[in-house]
Structure 1
Amino acid sequence: MRFARLIASAALSGAAVLATAAVPAQAAPQADHGRVTALCSTSAADFTVRNVSRPINHQLLTVTNTGAKSCNLLKTPLLAFDDDTYVGARAIEDSKPQAVVTLKPGESAYAGIVLSSADGSGENGRHVRTLHVFLDRGEGSEGGPDTLALPKNTWIDDSAAVTYWQADAADALVW
């Protein structure tokens, strides 16, 4: 009797294995990699620019995420002064952070703007009144610029440069 139960149990187990093998394979569930964060947009951002006392010839550009979702800032802001049709400040490549800056709603990030050479060696110096800020999306800029009034008597020359976006204002002013 005991032997009969073992045979019956083995037969049922074998049938279950055969039934499982007959079912078509299903794709394994996808791993959850978390939320994909979109790139920041000028339409969901507020920009400010202000003079700083140190280092000399610098301003601090601040962006605040005014959107409802987190967003990423890539590279540097693309800047143009007054009616320039070109980007008027080169990127400071050494300022590249180790990670992309992600802004939650209401959070801010910073970029340092070097306006002119400290030793006066820059060429084509001039006063400027407005700053046009574009956000670099890795393949050029996104949408239209945000236009800001610059502090009175802002002077730039051909050595104007801008840092990558930084999570901390002090890091943006190191360069």
Structure 2
Amino acid sequence: MRLTTKATATAAALTAALSLAALGGTASAATPAAGSAPVTCTAATTTVTVEQVSSPINHLLLKAENTGTKTCYAYGAPYLRFDDAQSATAWLGDSVPQAVVTLKPGQSAYAGIATSSPEGSDGHQADKLGVLFSNRGMNGGAGGTAAAKLPAGGVYVDDSAFVTYWQTSASDALMW
């Protein structure tokens, strides 16, 4: 009987440790303070910037830094609107991460933006970019729209443009 109890306790401890390691977390007995539950990332709690990248070609890197005081979740992918577009830029379904990107204050999430391709058509030079964070259900926006400054002279955008889901690193965002 003692061996069974010891084996069960060992198995439970090992399972808990492996679960925490897989999540990248550490054990903590502390209870979160009231009001410290994570919130959805929005334009009010983040700063968004856009960077021109040399590779891959026709790509931009969108960065969202949590400037709030609470941890926030960057659900799905951002809704992007170049200039006065009638619809949001398509999300790249193949880029879904394994988990929702969670940003502690000061941390950043990244999304890759492909602006055009040889197969694209109906292109134009875009001078403005609006960024709207997705809600938890990923069926609409959360909060207001943030304005992200595009590179000087704007960017060429056509109907093949897409944006990746939020990623935890710039390299993951630009691999698509």
TM class, shorter-chain normalised?
0.7 to 0.9
RMSD: 1.6
Give 1:113 deviation, angstroms: 0.1
Match of 2:92 in 1: 92
Q: What secondary structure sits across from 1:171 in the alignment?
A: helix
SS at match of 1:94: helix
What is the rounded CA distance, in whole Å, between the counterparts of 1:37 and 1:76 in structure 2? 18
Residue aligning to 1:123: 121
Unaligned runs of at least 5 residues, structure 1: 1-31
After the TM superposition, which parts of structure 1 deviate over 2 Å for at least 4 consecutive aligned residues?
32-36
Pairing 1:62–2:63 present? yes
| Alignment match, 2:52 | 51
Residues 133 and 142 in structure 2, CA contact (< 8 A), matched pair in contact too: yes
Tell me the equivalent position of 2:113: 113
Alignment of 1:73-92 (within 5 A): 73-87=74-88, 89-92=89-92
Count, aligned residues: 141
Query: What displacement does 1:144 show?
Result: 1.9
Q: 2:131 aligns with which of 113, 117, 133?
A: 133
Shift of 1:36: 3.8
- Aligned ranges 1:19-34 → 2 under 5 Å: none
1:173 counterpart residue number: 174
Q: Which amino acid in structure 1 is aligned with residue 142 of structure 2?
A: E
| DSSP 3-state at the match of 1:67 | coil
State the shift of 1:85 in Å. Answer: 3.6
1:105 aligned partner, one-letter code: P
- With structure 2 as the length reference, what TM-score do the two structures score? 0.76
Q: Percent identity?
A: 46
Q: Counterpart of 1:124 in structure 2: which amino acid?
A: D
Whose Rg is larger? 1
